[in-house]
């Protein structure tokens, strides 16, 4: 049986892609190395917040099946690689999953097949890492025997306005014909396709998108630190600046940067720049600012406790919201980790509450979860609002029974302080 599409990697990127492709009528299968993920999907259970269980049921009804056998690749006209990329222990790009997926594709590559890499990486990955694996293991040649493109994922977890269908898709091909095949494929289920000059341009576009956010977040984080020092209300500054209808894009400060993209993608860009003998001075400065933000938050927390003649050592501190994003069940690279780590280093007892997270482990230590927010606030010396989930009503926070350090600028009251 021939398939329109096989998605390799059924996580935060691959599963929404597969869901949209099936919705548009493409015959689709999924491949993943996790038995738990595969078994759960085939039983109708989703592990990705943006794809509810009902959507998985619709996937299965359309004929979709997940599996762990790479042989399914050989039945597809198009294969899209959506495996995770991250950083190694020394902070360098980690492409082991991409290489493994490329080998699996190469072993089942057929003439005429379209191969797409969506996994975020530095410029040159498609042609310098993926292409050699595909050609050497298969004996086929890109551009004549098969087609290879890079199309950066633009998944924004929890975004109700933009999804796979209505987010423009950038496509860069190894050859112009590769790009044409890639654009034709995505046009089947995406509203708008943007063709890049090549794969490197498409790869760098993805890194630029998130580096732009990273740098601007660093700017407002540093402004927030300055405002704290000179007693200026940073949130009112941002409110006023945000009224300008041109030349200004609003960003908010916070306890740090989190998620898979914003903290990671700029480091891919910096790594590639070093490799080429180039230094991004602005990026290095932004990283320094963002990296010290969790310590700034804990420093403010200690100041608040000292004002009440309560030392931070032995203080009971409740973290509210430990995910990296509002109303999303994802703790990847969440600033809650370094905040909790620094609190513990200073001797505080750390507890947490989050409606989306059942367990929160920092450096091997399981933080105690508070089930009832009001009770948790009543028993804490200080609470730190790290993520403004909708469940945390601003009125209730403003009436907090304990000191509250608000890192999101949503609460106000006698016991509330903001960064």
All domains in the chain, ordered by first residue: 3-197 (3.40.50.720), 213-418 (3.40.50.720)
Reply yes or no on whether the pLDDT at 93 is more than 90.
no
Segment 261-272 mean pLDDT:
92
Angstrom distances, CA of residue 261 to CA of 5, 85, 89, 393, 411: 25, 10, 17, 28, 28
Look at strands 368-369 and 382-385 and give their pairing: unpaired
Active site residues: 261
The whole-number pLDDT of residue 121 equals 94
Angstrom distances, CA of residue 307 to CA of 131, 303, 349, 409, 416: 61, 6, 19, 21, 13
Token readout for 292 is: 């010290």
The whole-number pLDDT of residue 97 equals 97
pTM for the model: 0.92
What DSSP string describes 250-282? -----S---SSSTTTHHHHHHHHHHHTT---HH
Q: What does pLDDT average to over the chain? A: 96
User: Each residue of 305-322: pLDDT tens digit?
Assistant: 999 999 999 999 999 999
Token readout for 233 is: 């209300």
Distance from chain centroid for Cα 416: 30
Alpha-carbon distance of 235 to 219, in angstroms, equals 14
Which of 265, 75, 22 shows the shortest CA–CA distance to 153? 265
Segment 34-49 mean pLDDT:
96
User: Each residue of 190-206: pLDDT tens digit?
Assistant: 999 999 999 999 999 99
Reply yes or no on whether the pLDDT at 39 is more than 90.
yes
User: Each residue of 2-14: pLDDT tens digit?
Assistant: 999 999 999 999 9
Q: Exposed, middle or buried: residue 219 (CB in 10 Å: 0-12, 13-18, 19+)? A: middle
Alpha-carbon distance of 106 to 131, in angstroms, equals 10
The HSE-up count of residue 225 (CA atoms within 13 Å, CB side) is 18
Phi and psi for 114 in degrees, rounded to 5? Answer: -105, 130
Segment 148-167 mean pLDDT:
95
């Amino acid at each position: 049986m021939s398939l329109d599409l096989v998605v390799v990697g059924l996580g935060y990127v691959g599963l929404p892609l597969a869901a949209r492709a099936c919705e548009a009528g493409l015959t689709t299968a999924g491949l993943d190395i996790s038995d738990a993920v595969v078994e759960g999907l085939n039983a109708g259970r989703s592990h990705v917040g943006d794809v509810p269980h009902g959507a998985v049921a619709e996937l299965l009804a359309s004929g979709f099946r997940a599996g762990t056998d790479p042989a399914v690749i050989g039945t597809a006209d198009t294969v899209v690689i959506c495996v995770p990329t991250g950083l190694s222990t020394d902070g360098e790009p980690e492409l082991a999953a991409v290489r493994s997926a490329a080998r699996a594709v190469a072993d089942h590559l057929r003439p005429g097949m379209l191969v797409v890499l969506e996994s975020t990486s530095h410029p040159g990955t498609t042609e310098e890492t993926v292409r050699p694996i595909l050609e050497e293991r298969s004996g086929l040649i890109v551009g004549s025997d098969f087609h290879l493109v890079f199309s950066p994922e633009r998944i924004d977890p929890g975004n109700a306005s933009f999804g796979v269908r209505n987010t423009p898709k950038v496509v860069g091909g190894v050859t112009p014909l590769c790009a044409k095949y890639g654009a034709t494929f995505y046009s089947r289920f995406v509203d708008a396709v943007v063709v890049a000059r090549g794969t490197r341009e498409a790869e760098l576009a993805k890194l630029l998108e998130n580096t732009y956010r990273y740098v601007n977040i660093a700017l407002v984080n540093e402004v927030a630190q300055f405002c704290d020092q000179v007693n200026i209300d940073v949130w009112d500054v941002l409110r006023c600046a945000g009224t300008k209808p041109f030349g200004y894009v609003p960003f908010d400060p916070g306890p740090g940067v989190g998620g898979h993209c914003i903290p990671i993608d700029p480091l891919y860009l910096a790594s590639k720049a070093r490799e080429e003998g180039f230094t991004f001075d602005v990026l290095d400065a932004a990283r320094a600012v963002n990296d010290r933000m969790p310590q700034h938050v804990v420093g403010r927390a200690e100041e608040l406790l000292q004002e009440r003649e309560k030392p931070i050592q032995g203080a009971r501190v409740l973290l509210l919201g430990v995910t990296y994003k509002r109303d999303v069940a994802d703790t990847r690279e969440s600033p809650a980790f370094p905040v909790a780590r620094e609190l513990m280093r200073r001797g505080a007892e750390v507890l947490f509450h989050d409606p989306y997270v059942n367990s929160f482990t920092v450096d091997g230590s399981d933080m105690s979860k508070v089930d009832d927010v009001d009770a948790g606030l009543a028993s804490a010396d200080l609470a730190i609002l790290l993520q403004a989930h909708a469940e945390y009503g601003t009125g209730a926070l403003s009436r907090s029974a304990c000191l509250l350090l608000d890192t999101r600028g949503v609460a106000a009251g006698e016991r509330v302080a903001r960064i």
